[in-house]
Amino acid sequence: MKNKKTLIHYLIIGLLLFSYSKIIAQEVKNNFESVEKHSHKNEKYKDNALGGSIFTGYGLLNGNISKYFTNPFFIGMNIDIIRQKFVIQIDDYIGFGKIKKTMEFPNDVKWYKNKTVLHFALGGNFGYTTINSESLKFVPLVGIGLNGIASEIFVSSDNSISQNEPFFPYYKVGCYIDIKSFKLFKNNPSFNYGDDYTCIRLSFGLNCQIGRRKYDSFYQGNMIYFTIGMGGSAK
């Protein structure tokens, strides 16, 4: 009788251990699947990054606009949205120049020689990373934007002046180069790599006006630009 009870106890303990082992095995499996799913999710988004730069630059005007305006110096910033090798970039700047010779408009308004003018631009670019090494990143770009020229720093109450201040669309073909910064890590010299880095950014390109506008004899033309700035990106 005693042996029979002992056997029953062992059977109950065995069944409990078997049940617990099944539960533990299922939990381990669930945890492993969760970790694997999370890893795939991270793998999916690991190439996403945000970046940008603050820059100063110089523009070379050509066409009619170069006869009336000096080449502008400008300052601006970029914001980069990076998805694997693709880059969507928001681009804006403000530039400063002068009038080369007095401009006489049909509405009897004059912009006088040596008067300071402002250049404004806001655009969006699309790029594709063709080189991304330990020390260098190269991204060709195409884009579209809106450019404006103002003869007054502050908004003028004279409507005849503001009517002569143009806004015109343009398309861009260019590129930027990130020279990734040198750093020391555990006493070993190395460059930043991947999408986590700081850099010196160089950019070059051509902004071409789209269509015609009022007073085209003053404003028609394009601009080749060069910039240098500080930037980087981070995941």
Predicted local distance difference test score (pLDDT) of residue 141: 95
More confident residue, 140 or 198: 140
Residues in the chain, how many? 235
What backbone torsions phi and psi does residue 125 show, to the nearest 5 degrees?
-125, 155
Mean pLDDT of the chain: 78
How confident is the model over 75-86, as pLDDT tens digits?
A: 999 999 999 899
The yes-or-no verdict on residue 194 having pLDDT over 70 is: no
Q: How many CB atoms lie within 10 A of CB 211?
A: 8
Residue 68 has pLDDT above 50, yes or no: yes
Residue 227 scores a pLDDT above 90: yes
Question: Is a pLDDT exceeding 90 seen at residue 197?
Answer: no
Tell me what the mean pLDDT of segment 86-113 comes to: 88
CB-based contacts of 174: which residues, under 8 Å, 6+ apart? 125, 140, 141, 143, 203, 204, 205, 206, 225
Assess whether pLDDT exceeds 60 at residue 5.
no
Eight-class DSSP state of 152: -
Distance CA 148, CA 225 (A): 16
Mean pLDDT of 22-47: 49
Contacts of 125 (CB under 8 A, 6+ apart): 87, 88, 89, 91, 141, 142, 143, 172, 174
Rounded CA-CA distance 99/67 in Å is: 9
Range in 85-89, 117-121, 177-181, 209-213 with the lowest mean pLDDT? 209-213
Asked if residues 176 and 136 have their Cβ atoms less than 8 Å apart, the reply is: no
